[in-house]
Structure 1
Amino acid sequence: MNYVVVSSIGAVFMGFFVLFVRMKAAKKPTNAKKIILPPIFMSTGAFMYVVPEFRLTPMEIGEAIIVGMLFSILLIKTSNFEIRGNDIYLKRSKAFIYILVGLLILRLILKAILSSTIDIGQLSGMFFLLAYSMIVPWRVAMYRSYRKLYKELHNQN
């Protein structure tokens, strides 16, 4: 089996894992730490760029960041919070599931197409940067929404 197939299978499992975690998270109150920590934990993946095979050209960096930020808009639009009792919860959104599955399918298609022209190491670096560029703006927007509701909730009490 080649690397593209193996990494694509891994991406599918990760996509289902994210769906599962998101569904489970909507059942419990959220807090700032749950919003902020995932991008921080994910940032350790940037150590891949120490290895020359994963390094990107300035053009590849720009493309990955722009596409990631554009995709983040979909996630931002489908991530809303609500106050229930004295806690803040992430609202469930059916659109989020479809968007996440759609992004996963798009990722697999792009990987299949681009793997014939871009080295697998660079492609991995691009997809990591794309994902990180998607998650950071999404989490920043989530944090801002959370803080707004948090202030509202604590000003009422």
Structure 2
Amino acid sequence: MNLLPDPIRMTHIGSIIVTLLSGLAVLFLRMRASNRPTTMRKIIIPPIGMSTGYLMFVVPETRIPWSWALAALAVGAVLFAYPLIRTSKLERVGETIVLKRSKMFILILLALLLVRLLLHDVVEQKISIAQTGGLFFILAFGMIAVWRVSMLRAYRKLEKEGVRQKEDKE
């Protein structure tokens, strides 16, 4: 009789714990970032930094078919980004632009985390853990890139309005 836990089961449980901790860290960071001045740099840097994750596909075990990658990107960009876009609002406060926190934003992030965990288990039964990680990375990148582009557009619009208001005062 083997009293040690099954290594595959422990890996799975570890993956869930890491995902939950990562999700909670993102929630914490989002809570701190809201209602504080934001800049174009703060909007652009996260997806640029995240894009380095595509280096994982150098490792053959993580590679997936192009059709899967495009589908994951589309799901992230369309389905997962939409609730984030709807619950993120930039506003001008004096000379600064701030991200106003919606009460629904945290619930949306929690729901997305839950959906991701549930989908992860389903997908992981069909393909390898490394491929599942790659697929969900692409999904997350699609979500974050589209959300940040939306924020960037809103930021630039508010920035132009601020310039116009300054000109009108002078």
1:18 aligns with 2:26: yes
Name the SS for the 2:105 alignment partner.
helix
Moved over 4 A (4+): none
Name the SS for the 1:89 alignment partner.
strand
On the 8 A contact 1:4/1:111 being kept in 2, the answer is: no
What is the match of residue 16 of structure 2? 8
What is the match of residue 112 of structure 1? 121
Structure 2: stretches of 5+ with no match in the other structure: 1-6
Render the CA deviation track for 1:22-61: whole Å, top value 9, x for unaligned.
1111132000000000000101111100000100112211
What is the match of residue 3 of structure 2? none
Q: Between 133-142 and 15-24, report the one with greater CA deviation.
A: 15-24
Could you tell me how far apart the structure 2 residues matched to 1:107 and 1:25 are? 23
What is the match of residue 33 of structure 1? 41
1:51 aligns with 2:59: yes
- How many aligned positions are there? 157
Q: Please list, as runs of the form range in 1=range in 2, the aligned pairs for 1:1-157 lying within 5 A after superposition.
A: 1-2=7-8, 3-69=11-77, 70-157=79-166
The amino acid that maps onto 2:141 is Y
On the 8 A contact 1:4/1:120 being kept in 2, the answer is: no
Name the SS for the 1:90 alignment partner.
strand
| Aligned-residue offset at 1:150 | 0.8
From the CA coordinates, give the structure whose radius of gyration is larger: 2
Structure 1: stretches of 5+ with no match in the other structure: none
Could you tell me how far apart the structure 2 residues matched to 1:145 and 1:23 are? 20
The amino acid that maps onto 2:51 is S
| Aligned-residue offset at 1:112 | 1.3
On the 8 A contact 2:35/2:100 being kept in 1, the answer is: no
Q: Which has the higher contact order (CA 8 A, sep 6+)?
A: 1
Q: Between 89-98 and 59-68, report the one with greater CA deviation.
A: 59-68
Cα RMSD over matched residues? 1.2
On the 8 A contact 1:72/1:134 being kept in 2, the answer is: yes
The amino acid that maps onto 1:63 is A
TM-score by length of 1: 0.95
The amino acid that maps onto 2:47 is P
The amino acid that maps onto 2:80 is F
Identical-residue share of aligned pairs (%): 48
